Amino acid sequence: MTKDPTTVPDLKSFVEVSSDSHFPIQNLPYGVFLRRGDRGPRAGVRIGDHVLDLKALQERGIGTTAPLRPGLFDQPTLNAFLELGRPAWRAARELISTLLSTDAPTLRDDSELRTHVLVSVADIEMILPVAIGDYTDFYSSREHATNVGTMFRGKENALMPNWVHLPVAYHGRASSVVLSGTDIHRPRGQVMLDGSQHPVFSPSRLLDFELEMGFFVGPGNALGHPIPATEAQEHIFGLVLVNDWSARDIQKWEYQPLGPFNSKNFATSISPWIVTLDALEPFRCAGPVQVPEPLEYLRGAGDRSYDIDLEVWLQSQKMDAPVRICQSNFKHMYWNISQQLAHHTVTGCNVRPGDMMASGTISAPDPSGYGSLLELTWKGTKPLIFADGEQRKFLADGDIVAMTGYCRGEGYRVGFGQVTGKVLPAEG
């Protein structure tokens, strides 16, 4: 197999990039941003501490040949680009990689052009990169599903009978997907307190985070025409970090018989930079062995998971610095993204460019890698105790949750940056 020249370890950019940066030339993730003093958003690609302004690049006549039509990146979202599919994605990636490499003079030797198309991240504001039409949240970590099932149904009935046969999911709320850095108000809802016979309406007492990743759909499918697992990756543009905030007490009361609703719909936070599957290709790996073997439509040749280190950090109002409370990895996911998309569409359900699908909580086999406070504190029975004596069973007002993720290359990282959010008191 021929190596992709955009991902080789010795590829270097004339733009200075620190060795621990998440955004070397091997990454080149996409986002949408506002330049200081500019009225309209535009698409860009992250390189180190700078962003390559794709609108400005096209205004100079660079990157306007088919399939990258003029004006493609002069839009408030990436949806039109996602719709074009892998030939356009690869054409753009190859062009951008060449322009930013040390061997290409176009930008390297033209200071005026560089000033026009390269902007510091300190001078921009990131916005939601995609207009998300639909959002589906899966439940695809066996460790997480087993932990939660054990807490609420006992070890013998931890996994429901269907779990090892299909990727379980529910339909989320696209309107409340927000960008990293957005503050989150503690939700109010119906809660059944222990020992009570009637619910009360109150702020959630058991607010939690969920360590997840999500992918964005590129080209969709026509109604009635499923996407096979073997072709699913041609329909997936890239991945982001996801914190799917969860109100455990509201969820416990409402989820039967139809699953989560108000306990999940108040906020889902995502990171601003979409890392493409092409950038993640060197880190493709096998996922867990699936027993029993999935039905035919969920089978696919080759490795379909990715080796992505994941961390969760928490900082309370009393802390001077955040504390790491979780270390997990995306490769622990039992059901991979190709199987998720194939199962979602197997009925003939049509997906559209910009639809988002999240993995569900990603928990590692080791307790230090559990991807939620529900698991880390085992339903509040084993509080986290920090160096200053402060404790956490669930999130308190003022807490800041930060998640990060990256792949380890040879002398470089391909990362996602962070997704952060601060918990504010309930309104009203």
Per residue in 395-427, pLDDT tens? 999 999 999 999 999 999 999 999 999 999 999
Average pLDDT over residues 212-234: 97
Of the candidate ranges 85-94, 98-107, 148-157, 357-366, the one whose mean pLDDT is the lowest: 148-157
Q: How confident is the model at residue 428 (pLDDT cuts 50, 70, 90)?
A: confident
pLDDT at position 42 over 90: yes
Query: Residue 37: pLDDT above 90?
Result: no
Task: Confirm whether 185 is a catalytic residue.
Answer: no
Q: State the average pLDDT over residues 23-32.
A: 98
pLDDT at 300 (0 to 100)? 83
Confidence at 2, pLDDT banded by 50, 70, 90: low
pLDDT of residue 67: 95
Percent of the residues in the chain that have a pLDDT greater than 70, as a whole number: 99
Delimit the domains of the chain by residue range: 30-127, 135-424
**What is the predicted pLDDT for the residue at 38?**
82
Question: What does the pLDDT look like over 258-307, one tens digit per residue?
Answer: 999 999 999 999 999 999 999 999 999 999 999 999 999 999 868 999 99
pLDDT, one tens digit per residue, over 119-133 is 999 999 999 999 999
The 3-state secondary structure of the chain reads CCCCCCCCCCCCECCCCCCCCCCCCCCCCEEEEEECCCCCCEEEEEECCEEEEHHHHHHCCCCCCCCCCCCCCCCCCCHHHHHHCHHHHHHHHHHHHHHHECCCHHHHCCHHHHHHHEEEHHHEEEECCCCCCCEEEECCCHHHHHHHHHHHHCHHHCCCCCCCCCCCEEECCHHHEEECCCCEECCEEEECCCCCCCCEEEECCCEECCEEEEEEECCCCCCCCCCCHHHHHHHEEEEEEEECCEEHHHHHHHCCCCCCCCCCCCCEEECCCEEEHHHHHHHEECCCCCCCCCCHHHCCCCCCEECCEEEEEEECCCCCCCEEEEEEEHHHCCCCHHHHHHHHHCCCCCCCCCCEEECCCCCCCCHHHCCCHHHHCCCCCCCEECCCCCEECCCCCCCEEEEEEEEECCCCEEEEEEEEEEEECCCC
- Spot the catalytic one: 144, 235, 343, 344: 144
Does domain 30-127 fall under CATH 2.30.110.10? My reply is: no
Whether pLDDT at 335 is above 70: yes
What pTM did the predictor assign? 0.97
Return the pLDDT at 302.
80
pLDDT digits 0-9 by tens, 87-112: 999 999 999 999 999 999 999 999 99
> What does the pLDDT read at residue 244?
98
The superfamily (CATH) of domain 135-424 is Fumarylacetoacetase-like, C-terminal domain (3.90.850.10)
Averaged over 56-70, what is the pLDDT? 96
